[in-house]
Amino acid sequence: MVHTTLSAPPAAPSLLHRATRLGAGLADVWADMNWIVRFTAVLGLVLVVLALAAPLIAPFDPNAQSLLSRLKPPMGLAGAKDGYLLGTDELGRDILSRCLHGLRLTLGVALLGAVIGLLLGGSLGLFAGIAGGRVDDLIMSLVDIQIAVPFTLVALLTVALLGGDLTVLIAVLGIAYWEQYARITRGEVLRLREMPFIEAARAAGASGWRIAVKHILPNLVSPLVVVFTVNISNIVLLESTLSFLGLGLRPPTATLGAMVGMGRDYLPSAPWIVAAPALLILLVTFVIQMLGDFLRDRTDVRLRER
């Protein structure tokens, strides 16, 4: 007589165990960084913390006006007013407070727009590469149309007709670069589906959905990470362009591009109005590009095997 014993299922990893594994993974990532990437990562973390904590650390209401304090220079310059570290704008509003809230809004809008573009373009590209035939032709025709038409003009027309509402702005930015995700995803799918491991999975009876999720998607991480990070920078610049032209969020909402746009008339006499938000736009794009290159190198298996 054969006796069988039923073993208990393995316990789920505890929260402490998961935190330990996450800490070890972050330590490993940190060890792979050179000093430039580490500095960039710390700078990016500082920018994110400043954006998230903007309502708590901003010294003034970003929309509070004081015409008696208008065009005051930053602290340390002649004519500066106590408490206004970066000076005031043409309406007497604190530039530091507006920069913090503008950074918060610009980063949030850019991140949401990039995620929408990734989901839309990645899904269509994956579907086109797997389905092929007329579906592939239709999706790629839409991609060609998107590429042929200058999207900045489309964005200007859309925002001008529908208004500078936050939802409209996020939707416009979300469809700005979806064709890049679609093209890269489709190309990678066409390459991967002829690989031996895909043929083996197909011969073993795996469904198309399982092949896409288990075997193709993990190999798309590296190229999509690069496109995602580049597009965040592009969306930041696009949002800044729309706001600079007066087609972004309605005043007095502070965004970095809107601050640059409204301060351009005062650039000869009060350059600090433009300098602070322009510097933040530069720092955000620099951090995203540097971290995107690092993530690309780390997630690309072919580069790590060299």
pLDDT digits (tens, 9 = 90+) for 83-138: 889 999 888 899 999 999 999 988 888 889 889 999 999 889 988 888 888 888 89
Per DSSP, what are the bridge partners of residue 304?
A: none
Residue-wise pLDDT tens digits, 204-238: 776 667 777 777 777 787 788 878 888 888 888 88
Number of Cβ within 10 Å of residue 147's Cβ equals 12
Domain of 132: which CATH number?
1.10.3720.10
Q: Which domain holds residue 232?
A: 33-50+94-299
Asked if the structure places residue 100 within a domain, the reply is yes
Is 165 inside any structural domain? Answer: yes
Quick count: other Cβ atoms within 10 Å of Cβ 76?
A: 7
Q: Is the pTM of this model over 0.85?
A: no
Residue 62 located in a structural domain: no
Q: How far apart are CA 153 and CA 99, in angstroms?
A: 27
Determine the Cα–Cα distance for residues 43 and 180; give it in Å rounded to an integer: 28
Specify the number of domains making up the chain. Answer: 1
- Does residue 131 sit within a domain? yes
HSE-up (13 A, CA, CB side) for residue 255: 28
Check: CB of residue 217 under 8 Å from CB of residue 268. Answer: no
Q: What confidence tier does 16 reach under pLDDT thresholds 50, 70, 90?
A: low
Task: Judge whether 208 lies within some domain.
Answer: yes
Give a yes or no: residue 6 inside a domain: no
**158 is a domain residue:** yes
Q: Judge whether 221 lies within some domain.
A: yes
